[in-house]
Amino acid sequence: MSDNTTIHDVAVLPGQERFVAPLDETPLQDVDKVDESAPATSMWADAWRNLRKNPLFIISGILIIFIIFVALFPSVLTKTDPNYCNLDNSLGDPEAGHPFGFDFQGCDVFARTVYGTRTSLSVGLLSTILVVIIGTLIGAVAGFCGGWIDAVLSRLNDIFYAIPMLLGAIVVLQMFKTSTSIWKIVLVLALFGWVSTARIARGAVLEAKNLEFNTASTALGSTPMRNLFRHIIPNSLAPIIVIGTTSLGSYIVSEATLSFLGVGLPTTTVSWGGDISNAQTNLMTNPMVLFYPSVALAVTVLSFIMMGDAVKDALDPKSRTA
């Protein structure tokens, strides 16, 4: 073979000769062929597929379903009025129909623990929904508009971020303590709790607004506000849902803390925080009065934290530990 020998019109040097088989002898393989019959998947479908296999999600889901059931139908578990108290039963031991015994006022601890679920869960869910709405709107507008709007909203975010939520809530509730209700607690917690959600939403919108779907939508004649609410915010919800799910437990704890400190719900409202506050004086003589509402609070908060961790792993694979 000469120095100018070619194989399929490709010049090669001595020692670099190679053989190229004819195309009909080496047909293309189906190794990387895409199954066109398979249904299309999305981030949410992939997340749900991962969640269904996550034991943490299954356990927390079962607990949360049970907690919601107790909050909605407390009379299924107990027929006793939680506000009915008889001093003759003060610090009484458990008996038939009253498995947790009685507190210092003679109230049924089991009934108050069951009915307290509704109050704590309502505050947690309503606060989370309000925080997610406020934080998402402020963060999305700041990230999408930019310029002076972003600067003003970011400085407002910094101001509220410097105020501890519990401290701010205590000050506001002390200023308007004439009548305290669940909605007042929810509004106060939302007033100081939207900051983290706004920061997450701003970062997600900043990333999403530079993606191709936004450019394509603009080229098709869509207005900026339509892009923001129709395309950008829906594609930025994953981290917002994660922080909302994770933070729900903290709002339940905040309500219990405010009630424990005496600036939360009135004593006529059955809540775990109020019962824990009332039971602290009997901690040495009858600790079980404090134990039951504390365990109920801990299990509820733990359930939502576990759910938040499971959702975070499903929607944010980068956060998974090796």
Decide if 189 is inside a domain: yes
Decide if 82 is inside a domain: no
Decide if 226 is inside a domain: yes
Task: Report how many domains make up the chain.
Answer: 1
- Four-residue CA torsion sign, 208, 155, 135, 57: positive
Exposed/middle/buried for residue 62 (C-beta within 10 Å: 0-12, 13-18, 19+):
exposed
Per-residue pLDDT of the chain (322 residues; tens, 9 = 90+): 444 444 445 555 666 666 666 666 666 555 555 555 656 566 677 778 888 888 888 999 999 999 999 999 998 998 888 888 888 888 888 888 888 888 888 889 999 999 999 988 899 899 999 999 999 999 999 988 888 998 999 999 999 988 888 888 888 888 877 667 888 899 999 999 999 999 999 998 888 888 777 778 777 777 878 888 888 888 888 888 888 888 888 898 888 888 888 888 887 888 888 888 888 877 777 888 888 999 999 999 899 888 888 888 777 655 554 4
pLDDT, residue 27, reads: 60
Tokens of 310: 């499971």
**H and E: helices and strands count for the chain:** 12, 2
Decide if 52 is inside a domain: no
| Alpha carbon distance 311, 164 (integer Å) | 26
Task: Identify the domain containing residue 188 by its residue range.
Answer: 120-315
Exposed/middle/buried for residue 54 (C-beta within 10 Å: 0-12, 13-18, 19+):
middle
| Alpha carbon distance 154, 125 (integer Å) | 26
What distance, in Å, lies between the first and last C-alpha atoms of the chain?
56
* Residue of 127, 133, 199 whose CA lies nearest to 161: 199
| Alpha carbon distance 139, 265 (integer Å) | 31
Q: Which residues on neighbouring strands pair with residue 107, listed in sequence order?
A: 85
Decide if 134 is inside a domain: yes
Contact 261, 136 (CB under 8 A): no
| Alpha carbon distance 254, 266 (integer Å) | 15
Decide if 85 is inside a domain: no
pLDDT, residue 37, reads: 60
Contacts of residue 296, defined as CB under 8 A and 6 or more positions apart, other chains included, come to 113, 116, 117, 272
Exposed/middle/buried for residue 140 (C-beta within 10 Å: 0-12, 13-18, 19+):
buried
Amino acid at 82: P
The total number of residues written for the chain in this structure: 322
Contacts of residue 25, defined as CB under 8 A and 6 or more positions apart, other chains included, come to none
pLDDT, residue 261, reads: 84
Decide if 304 is inside a domain: yes
* Predicted model pTM: 0.77
Decide if 263 is inside a domain: yes
Helix (H) / strand (E) containing 64: helix 55-72
CATH number assigned to the domain comprising residue 248: 1.10.3720.10
Contact 69, 245 (CB under 8 A): no
